[in-house]
Amino acid sequence: SDFAGALEKCRKYHVETNQSTWITPALITLLERFRTDPDAGVGVCCFELWEGHELAAATFSFLRGRVFHDFTMCTLLRDHRSAGHVLTKAVGHLIGVAGYTCWYWGFKNPYMAEYDSYGTYHLERPEFQALWDADTGDVSRAVPKLQELLSQGQALVQPMAT
């Protein structure tokens, strides 16, 4: 996966869709550095859903201890198949299998209300911070653990052959 390239596509999507974004090229460079630094104190990953050779949807996340924190997502392919919804369910399933106990989405956008029936709970920042700080776990193993589960066929949507 080309993390920086996918995040740049997400940045452009947000600019085109919302006329702005907090994601900057400098931030993408910094997150790429965190992603490859085993001593960063946080795992950084991206889940992607593809339609042929086109990125259909992506979600970008921080991992620490048993907390999985999406910091942005995008749905580039918008049709009746709901690529973003499919990816969200697939990621939720996989992080549950991996043992994550908190999936933090940050600011609740109106479209997120459709997930309320799955038992969502809004955390205030201090509550999230306490969870984030409580269990750092082995951050260097966080992303490899998810990759291992994917390679074992544990995902609802199977990875593309590379």
- Contacts of residues 148-154 at CB distance under 8 Å and 24 or more positions apart, as own/partner, are 149/94, 149/97, 149/98, 150/94, 154/94, 154/97
In CATH terms, is domain 3-151 a member of 3.40.50.300? no
Q: For the full predicted model, state whether its pTM sits above 0.75.
A: yes
> Do 64 and 132 touch, CB atoms closer than 8 A?
yes
Q: Report residue 24's pLDDT band, with 50, 70 and 90 as the boundaries.
A: very high
- Tens of pLDDT, residues 61-70: 999 888 889 9
- Tens of pLDDT, residues 72-122: 999 999 888 889 989 999 999 999 899 888 888 876 777 667 777 777 778
Per-residue pLDDT at 15 exceeds 90: yes
Per-residue pLDDT at 162 exceeds 60: no
Q: Percent of the chain beyond pLDDT 90? A: 39
Task: Give the start-to-end residue ranges of the domains of the chain.
Answer: 3-151
